[in-house]
Structure 1
C-alpha cells in the first residue's frame, strides 16, 4: 500500500509577523510533529502550495528549516501566494522540472503521483498551467497507462458554487481534457480554498483539504439565487492535512486535524474583506 501526506496553505511569514493574527510557523511546527508521531510510516509528504504568505525570502528560509524536521522525503509545489524565483533562490534551482515549474512525478507502490505547480501570481488568486506543463503532464500520463494515477496541485479544478469561484484554476477544461486521456486517474487533490470538499468533474474524482491556515465557512449558491455577498466567516482552525492511502483497488483520502481550534477570527484581521 502507498501512503502519503499532503500539507497545504502553510502561509509562512517572516519572524516577528503573523498572518491574519495567526502564528503560521507554530502551526507548521505542530503539523510536522503530528506527521512524525502519527504517520511516520508514510512514504513521502507533499506540500501543495501557498508555502509562504507573501513569497518573502525570510519566510522560505523559516519554511526550509522547519520541513527539514520531517522524517520522510518531501516534495514541494507552489500556489498563488508564492514567488517562484524567490523560492528557487532559497531551496535551489534544481527543484524546478524541465517545465521551469515545481512539477514532480513520483512512482511508488504501483502508483504514479504527479504534482503540478499552478502558481501564477499575476492572476491575483487564480492559478494557471502553461501549455508546456500540460504537454509534460500528457507525457507523464501516457507513460503510466499500466498503473493508477493521483494528481496533486494547489488550485481547485472546478467551481464549488461559493464566493471564491473566481480564483479557481484558469481554463480548467484544458487540464481535464489531458487528465481524461488516462483511464485510471483516481484522485485530483488540491488545497487553496481553505475548506474540505469532494466531488467529480467529468467523471474525475477530486477533493480539497482545509490546510494549515484559517478555515472558511462557505456561503453557498442556492437554487433560487446567486452566492450571497459580504465577507465569509473565517475560523482559526482546524489545521488540517490529508492522509492518502492507495491500494490495488482504491484510493482513500482521510482529512485529519492536527489542530482543533475553531474560533471565529475578527473581520478586521482581513483588510481586503
Structure 2
C-alpha cells in the first residue's frame, strides 16, 4: 500500500503570504506533484495546522486545492485550526460523540486511527500545546480494543507528538506532560500499533517511542530551524516536503519528496571516467 502524508499547510486567506511564503501556492505545487507522481496512492492524510488563523476563506481554499487529488483525503486539525470553522467547511469529516475530530478509517493494510489533540477552538484560544483528556483517552482505548479483537494492525495519526524531540521551542508545546504520560501508558498496553505519524514540528524526524516507530515531515509551508540551544522558535525557508509511505506486512517505509526541487537530474551512466 502507498499513501501520502502531508502536514502543516498553514493556509491563509488567498493571496496573503506567511513568513515570506505563499502557503496556498506551496500546497497547490504539492498537489500537482502528487497527481503527476503518485496518483496510484490509496489515500492522503494531512496531520493538522491546515490553516494559520482558522479563517473560513482559508478552509475554502483548502477544499478547492485538495479537490484535484485523485485519492481520498483524511484531515486532522492542529493548534492553528478552528474546530468550528473546520467543521462548517468539511462537514463530511467524522467526529467522535464529544465533537472531537477523530475517527477510524479502514485501509488495505490495517486500521488508521486519527486523533484530535486540540483544546477548545484553537484559533480563539490560541494555545499551541496539545491536549488529550480523559474522554479522548477512553475513546482511543475502545478503538484499540476493537482493533485488537478484530486482529488488525493500527496506525496512529495526530498533530502534536506525545513526547519531546530535543528541540526546546517545540518540546514546550507538544502534548502537555500529564496527558502525554497517560497517552504513553495507554499505548504500552498494546502490541498491534505499527507506526505513529504526526505533524507540528515542521521538520523531518523519525525514531521510536515505547517501541513504536514514529515519523514526521517538513511542512508544505515554512520550516522550523534545527536549533537545540536557544529555545527560540525560528522559521526558515528550507525545502518543504510531503511523505510517500509504503506499507507491507513486514515493513513501513517513509520517503520525503522535495516537490519544489527544479535542479538537474543526472544519469550516472552518462558520466565518463576521467584521467
| TM bracket (short chain) | 0.7 to 0.9
TM-score, structure 1 normalization: 0.87
2:24 is the alignment partner of 1:25: yes
Structure 1 residues 65, 229: CA separation in 2 closer, same or farther (over 3 Å shift)? closer
Residue 75 of structure 1: aligned partner: 74
Residue 140 of structure 2: aligned partner: 137
2:225 and 2:233 in contact (8 A); partners too: no
Report the Cα distance in structure 1 between the residues aligned to 2:69 and 2:41, rounded to whole angstroms.
11
Within 5 Å, give how 1:34-53 maps onto structure 2.
34-53=33-52
1:5 and 1:241 in contact (8 A); partners too: yes
Structure label with greater radius of gyration: 2
1:237 and 1:259 in contact (8 A); partners too: no
In the TM superposition, residue 123 of structure 1 has moved relative to its aligned partner by 6.0
Report the Cα distance in structure 1 between the residues aligned to 2:82 and 2:127, rounded to whole angstroms.
12
Report the Cα distance in structure 2 between the residues aligned to 1:230 and 1:79, rounded to whole angstroms.
21
Q: Deviations over 1:41-72 (max 9, x none)?
A: 11111111000010011111111111111110
Structure 1 residues 43, 138: CA separation in 2 closer, same or farther (over 3 Å shift)? same
5+ long unaligned stretches in structure 1: 221-226, 262-273
In the TM superposition, residue 23 of structure 1 has moved relative to its aligned partner by 0.6
Cα RMSD after superposing both structures? 1.7
5+ long unaligned stretches in structure 2: 263-275
Q: Deviations over 1:142-170 (max 9, x none)?
A: 11121221111111121112122101012
Within 5 Å, give how 1:18-167 maps onto structure 2.
18-92=17-91, 95-120=94-119, 121=122, 122=125, 124-145=127-148, 146-163=151-168, 164-167=170-173
Q: Deviations over 1:164-216 (max 9, x none)?
A: 21010122122122222221212111110111111222222212111211112
Report the Cα distance in structure 2 between the residues aligned to 1:193 and 1:231, rounded to whole angstroms.
10
Secondary structure of the structure 2 residue equivalent to 1:101: coil
Structure 1 residues 72, 231: CA separation in 2 closer, same or farther (over 3 Å shift)? closer
Secondary structure of the structure 1 residue equivalent to 2:215: strand
Q: Deviations over 1:193-242 (max 9, x none)?
A: 1111112222222121112111122222xxxxxx335554x322312111
2:23 and 2:221 in contact (8 A); partners too: yes
1:237 and 1:260 in contact (8 A); partners too: no
Report the Cα distance in structure 2 between the residues aligned to 1:58 and 1:17, rounded to whole angstroms.
11
1:99 and 1:136 in contact (8 A); partners too: no
1:155 and 1:168 in contact (8 A); partners too: yes
1:88 and 1:95 in contact (8 A); partners too: no
In the TM superposition, residue 97 of structure 1 has moved relative to its aligned partner by 2.9
1:10 and 1:28 in contact (8 A); partners too: yes
